[in-house]
Structure 1
C-alpha cells in the first residue's frame, strides 16, 4: 500500500467534502400525484490539495483515527477500520482481501472515491463467519469514475445511515445477504451490477425504532444517470420499507425463485415439464400437487416496515406495519424485469406511473398495488404475466399499455375486503391512453365497477365460456373513448343504462378469428388486429364496440375476420345476435 500526492489523484466527479452530505427531507412533500423529489443527495466538490494523511498499520489491520484523505493503492491483506470523523478513502487500483471479517468498517460517515479498478473481498476457502465487505454506522458515499469489485460472504455494502451512489461502477457478488443494504439509498450517476445474493439486491430498511410509516426512513431514490443490473438474486431486486421513487436511469432486474411444497391453496404453482405455472386459488384443490415461493423474489417491492418487541413474559413478538402511504412512483427511466414473483408490487399502498419504458415478464402479476394503481403515462409492455395490472382501484389516464396475461389482463380487487366492500370500493377507470389486452381470463375485470370515459381500449379475450372481455360486479359505464373488445359469448356483460356513448354488441353464430374493423360507408372508423399487436390473436364469438363517432340511426359495417355484419344503431346499446350462458349473470 502506498500514499500519493493528493492532487495527483484529484477526482472531480462530485465528492463530499469531509464525508458530509446534505440530506433534506420534508415529510409533507412526498405528493402521490407529483414527480417532485424530496431528497437531495448534493455534495460539495473536493478541491483540496492538502498532503494526504500518513498512518502506520500492521500486517492485518489499518486503523484510521484522524480526519483526512487516505489514498489506498496496491495490495493489502487485512482490514481497514475508520475510527474518526471526516475521513475520505481514495481507492486507487487497490486490492484488499481478508477472511471472516469486514474489509472496510467505519464508525462514522465515510466517503469512498474510486480511481481505476479496485477489488475488495472477504471470500476465502474456509469461511467460519459471513460478514459484509463494507460496513458503516453512519452514511456511506461512493463516487468517482473508477470501478470497484466486491466479493462478499454476506452483504456487499451495509450501513445504518444513507447510502449515496454518486459515481463509478460497483460489481457486487454478495453472499448470504444483500448487494447493498442501508436505511436510505439514493442512486444518481452510478452503475451497480449485482450478480449474486441470498437476499435482495438493493435493500432499504429502517431499524427497530421505526414502528409506523416514516417518509424519512427506509426509501430508495433512483435518478437519471443511474444504471442497475441485477441477476442471481434469491430475493427482491429492489426493496424499500416506505417508498421507491424512480425519476430516470436504467434498470435490468432478474430474480431467482426458491420453491417449497405448497401448504395452502394461495399462490400455488403447477410444475409441468420443468415450468412453474401459477394457478387460480380455487383450482388448487389438492395442494400436495403444487408448489409455492419460499421467499419474496419480486422485481421492485415497497411496504415492509416490521419491528420486534418483548412481551411481559420476555418473548419476542414480531410486528408488520400496514400502511396505505407506501408508495412506488416512477416518472421516467428504462425498466426491464424478468421474475417468477410479481414484477412491481406495493404492499397495502399505491403505485403511480407517470412515464418511463417498461418491459415486464413474470409468472405472477406484472404491476400490482394493494391499494391504488394509477397510470398517467409511459410505455408499458407486459409480455408475460398471470395478471397484468391489478389494484383495489386501477386508473388509466395515459400511456401506451400492452398486456399479455394467462388470467385477467386488468383486475380491480382486494382480497382483504368483503365481497360487498369490493363491489363498493373496487373500480377500473379509463379516461386516456392506449391499452391493449390479450387475456387468458377476463380482459378487464372489476369486483366493483368499470368506467370508460376516454382513451382507447382493445381487448383480445378468450373463448372460454366463464370469461369475458369486460366483466364487473358493479356495472360497466361507457361515456367516451374507443373500445373494441372480443371474447366469449357465454359470459358477455351488457353495460348499464347509465352509459351515454352508443355501444354495439355483436354475437356471432360461430367462433371466428382475425382483425375487427368498423366502417361507416367506405370510411374506416376503427380497427383492431390482435395478431399485429401481440403476434398471435385469439378466436372469439362476441364483439363489443363503442366509438365517439357513433350516431343514432346510422348503419355501420363490422368486419370480423371473414364475417361481415351490418348494424343500425337504434339505442344506446344495440345488440345483434343472442348470447348469455343460461342462469349466469351478464347474459343477454
Structure 2
C-alpha cells in the first residue's frame, strides 16, 4: 500500500474517534484513550533522520552517488564516426587505428560507433592523453568470440560510454577468452595475482556509463561490466546477463539513476577493494533494479548506501529453498543455489578461480547448536566478498583452501545505510546483512529470507520505514538493536527479534553504540520485584553498562531499545530474545509468540524495563517472562487456559468499560499486558468473549497472576531460550483488530 495513503488512513481513525475503543496500532491492539492513539500514530511516522547528517563519510558517498555526470549531446562538440560493418571497421579519423576487426584507440576524444561487428573488439590503450575517451554507442552491436568486446587497457583520463536517447546497443562475448587477450597482473595493494580481462566490458581505469539509451551486455565468459577503479552510472538502461558477476567496480560503484536488469550466476552488483577503507563502497541515489543472482544481490566490501530507488532482488532459489531445507532438517547447501544459464543458452559454470565447496547454514538448525552469540561473532575473513576462505600464502599469491557461498540480497563488510527506497527481496540467505552496523531511516520493505531478514553483527538502528518480513529464520538480529520509529511486521520460524551480543567497531554516527537516535541506556543495576495474588518474589539483577563514543566503539552491549514505532512479531521461537537487557520507552509492540513451551514470547537475561508505550505478548507459558520491576508502566502477566487462535481478548475495568482489546491469531496460554490503561489500585478482568480468564488488582508495577515458578521469568531475569532448535509449529498469524471495533488493519 502507498505509504502516504497508509498515513492518511491512520489520521482519519484518530480524528474520528472521540469515544469508545480506539486502534492505536496496526496490529489489532485497541485502547480507550484518544491520547494514546495519537501518540502511537506519531511514533511511527516517516523518519526525519538524514543519515548523511550523522556522518561525514556518508555525506561524501551521498555526493558521489548524486553527483555522477549525466549524458551530454555529442553533436554539440567534435566527434569522429566509426562504422561497424560485420567483419570489418571503417574509420577515417585520428586517434585510433583499425587492425583487422579491432579498433585500437590511443588518444582521447569522442568516437561514435554504429553498425554491427561480428567478431572484434574496441580496445583503448591511451598512455599519455589527458582527454576523456568517449564511446558513443549509436545502435551498435559488438561481439567478440574470444575476448572482451570493449577493453580499456589504459586511459590517461576517464572512459565514458554514452547511450543517446532512443538507441539500443549490445555487447556480447564468448564463453572463453584466447591466450592473446589474457593478461596476468599482481595487485600492488593486496599482492593477489589475477588474470584479465574478466568482463564483456572491462576497464582498468575509471568507467562511466550515461545516457538514457539501452545497452544489453551478454557476458558468457565471466562478468558483465567490470572496472578496476570506479564505476559510475547515470540514466542508462542496462540489461546484463552474466555467467558470473553482473556489475563490478573494484574501488567503488556509484549510481545516480537508471534502470538495471541483471541476471548473474555470481553477484549482481559488487565492489571489492578490501585494502583501502575509503574504497570498496556502493552508493546509489536512485534507479530501478531487478536483480536475479546466484550469490549476493548487491555486495559492498565496505559501505552500502541507498538513498532511494526500487529494488527487486532474488538470490539463489529464494527463501523457499531454505524453508524446504529446514523442514527436512538439513543444512542449507550453497550448491543448491540457482543454476544460471549463460546468455547463449548453455549452462553457466563457475570460473576456475572461484571454486566453491558450499556450506551455508541459513535455515534449519544453526551450526552453533545452541550458542546465541556464535553467529554474531562469525567474522572470519569478513571482507572476502562472497566467500569465507582459509588461505595459505606463498610469495605474493594466495590460494583458497575452503570457501562457502554467500547468497544474501544486500550485504556490506562494514555498514549498510538505507535512507529510503522500495525493496522487494526474496533471498536464500539473509535479506539485509552487515558485518558491522545497519541504519534504516525510511523505505518500504517486503522481505522473504531463508535466514535472517535483517542482520547486523554490530548495531541495528531503525528510525523509520514500513518493514514487512513475510518469512525468515530470525526477523531482526543484532548485537544491539535500537528502534525509534517505523512500522515493522515480521514472521519468523525461530526468534522474531534477537539481540545476541558480540563485538563491534562502528565507525560513524547512526551506527555506534553512543548514537542511538536519542535513546539513552538506563543506569546500571535494578532490583526486580513482582506482585502475586498469593506470594511475592524478589530478585536482584545487576547489569554492567559500557559507554562508547560515536566512533571507534570497541564493544556493544546486548541491549534492545524501543522508543517508538509499531512492531508486530509472529515467531515460532522466542518473540523477543535478548541476551542482555531491554528498555521500552515508547511505541507499540505486539507479540504472537510460540505455542511450544520451550520458548517464550519475551525472553531476556538481565532486565526488561517498560516506561512507555504499549506491550502485549501472547504465547506459551513454559518459558514466559514479564517486564521487570524497574518499569514504571504497570503490567499484568498471567497464565490462562489454552485459547484458540482468533480469540478476542478484552481488558475490562471494574465499571465494565473495555479499555483494551486484542486478537491473537495463534493459540496461546499466557498473556502479558503493559500499558498506561492499567492504573494503580484499580481492578480489571481479562476476558475471552464472555469467559473470565483472570481478574486482578493492580497494586504493583508488575502483577503476576501465574506464580513465581515459571522459569524464574516473573522475577526479573529468567532462563534463556534455545536458539539452536527450530520450532515445528505451523500456526502463524498477526494480531488483528476486532471487527466490532469498526476498524480494519493491514500488515505494513
Give the shorter-chain TM-score range. 0.7 to 0.9
> How far apart, CA to CA, are the structure 2 residues paired with 1:56 and 1:313?
40
Aligned match of 1:332: 420
- Select the residue among 698, 704, 719 that pairs with 1:575: 704
Distance 1:539 1:579, change over 3 A: farther
- Select the residue among 50, 62, 80 that pairs with 1:37: 62
Distance 1:528 1:452, change over 3 A: same
Cα displacement (A) at 1:133 = 0.6
Cα displacement (A) at 1:184 = 0.4
Aligned match of 1:123: 174
SS at match of 1:37: helix
Structure 2: stretches of 5+ with no match in the other structure: 1-51, 81-92, 183-196, 338-360, 371-378, 404-411, 505-542, 547-555, 720-748
- Select the residue among 111, 117, 122 that pairs with 1:76: 117
State the TM-score, normalizing by the size of structure 1: 0.79
Are 1:467 and 2:467 an aligned pair? Answer: no
Alignment size in residue pairs: 520
> How far apart, CA to CA, are the structure 2 residues paired with 1:317 and 1:76?
39
Cα displacement (A) at 1:586 = 3.5
Deviations 1:493-522 (A, max 9, x none): 232221111001121133443233334445
Distance 1:315 1:353, change over 3 A: closer
Aligned match of 2:163: 114
Are 1:219 and 2:281 an aligned pair? Answer: yes
SS at match of 1:30: helix
> How far apart, CA to CA, are the structure 2 residues paired with 1:307 and 1:467?
35
Distance 1:35 1:426, change over 3 A: farther
Aligned match of 1:101: 147
Cα displacement (A) at 1:329 = 0.6
Aligned match of 1:64: 105
State the TM-score, normalizing by the size of structure 2: 0.63
> How far apart, CA to CA, are the structure 2 residues paired with 1:169 and 1:486?
49
> How far apart, CA to CA, are the structure 1 residues paired with 2:619 and 2:229?
53
What is the aligned-residue RMSD (CA, Å)? 3.8
Distance 1:409 1:308, change over 3 A: closer
Aligned match of 1:293: none
Kept in 1, the 8 Å contact 2:310–2:421? The answer is: yes
Cα displacement (A) at 1:66 = 2.1
Are 1:515 and 2:561 an aligned pair? Answer: no
Cα displacement (A) at 1:555 = 2.2
Are 1:372 and 2:459 an aligned pair? Answer: yes
Distance 1:570 1:105, change over 3 A: same
Larger % of strand: which? 1
Greater relative CO (CA pairs within 8 A, separation 6+):
2
Cα displacement (A) at 1:438 = 0.3
Kept in 1, the 8 Å contact 2:245–2:264? The answer is: no
Segment of structure 1 superposing worse, 565-574 or 389-398? 565-574
SS at match of 1:559: strand
Cα displacement (A) at 1:50 = 3.0
Cα displacement (A) at 1:175 = 1.1
Cα displacement (A) at 1:82 = 1.4
Aligned match of 2:15: none
> How far apart, CA to CA, are the structure 2 residues paired with 1:112 and 1:393?
44
Distance 1:314 1:52, change over 3 A: closer
Distance 1:310 1:355, change over 3 A: same
> How far apart, CA to CA, are the structure 1 residues paired with 2:145 and 2:136?
22
Cα displacement (A) at 1:363 = 1.4
Deviations 1:396-424 (A, max 9, x none): 1100000100000000003679xx99999
Kept in 2, the 8 Å contact 1:340–1:364? The answer is: yes
- Select the residue among 260, 263, 281 that pairs with 2:366: 281
Kept in 2, the 8 Å contact 1:490–1:580? The answer is: no
Structure 1: stretches of 5+ with no match in the other structure: 1-24, 286-295, 297-301, 531-536
- Select the residue among 139, 145, 150 that pairs with 2:212: 145
Larger % of helix: which? 2
